Amino acid sequence: MKSADEKEKLYLSLQRLTENTIEDIVNRSVNHKNMNNHNDLNINNKYKVLFVCLGNICRSPAAQGIFEHFVRENGMEDRIEADSAGTYGGHRGELPDRRMRTAALYRGFALTHRSRPVSSLDFLDFDLVIAMDDQNYEDLMHLAPSVEATHKIRRMASYLKNSRMTYIPDPYYMGSEGFGMVLDLLEDACKNLFDEIKEGLQ
């Protein structure tokens, strides 16, 4: 049997835990309402971008690596963060496809991300969720836990300035030229996305 003193301590720590949890939920929901503005940071005080493709071993980890390069180049690691995920979880834990790693490294981007499936909880953590193609976009729309969360979803191709492509093609079944072409598109889109976010944060 616990003493009255111990019970009192237990009660107080449970009360603190409950208050912290409620505060966290309120903060997350406030962040949810404001998620369309690039100057509204989430609870970690960082603007967070999630790149999503099918397997999370070709396009989205490459987009993440390229985007992170722009973040580092501009010394904004404490303000902007990126991650990537796949709508299909079959490659969970794997490094990016060797062909993509080789092609990216040739351009100076070392890809070290490990594949993971996207989750509906990602919509709470991230400010933007970026789909590589139309199927990824549809899958994310279905996964989003609320109508507000769907407003975080964007198409990667909407950031292209040097191409009229409306999606980032899947290079998985292409030859090595396919990987180079996809990296050209991703470099263009990442640069413009980064510039837009940076401007919004100033």
* Distance from C-alpha of 66 to C-alpha of 71, rounded to nearest angstrom: 9
Distances (CA, A) of 73 to 31, 44, 63, 68, 200: 27, 21, 15, 8, 18
Distances (CA, A) of 173 to 87, 104, 147: 18, 17, 34
Q: Is 170 in the site for ligand 4NP (CB under 6 A)?
A: yes
Q: Is 172 in the site for ligand 4NP (CB under 6 A)?
A: yes
Active site residue 190: no
Q: Is 54 in the site for ligand 4NP (CB under 6 A)?
A: yes
Q: Going residue by residue from 59 to 98, which x/- string records binding to ligand 4NP, judged by CB under 6 A?
A: x------------------------------x--------
Task: Record the tokens describing residue 82, joined without a space.
Answer: 């990126």
- Residue 75 is given by DSSP the state T
Residue of 35, 50, 58, 193 that binds ligand 4NP (CB under 6 A): 58
Nearer CB in complex with ligand 4NP: 53/111: 53
Positions touching ligand 4NP (CB under 6 A) are: 53-59, 90, 170, 172
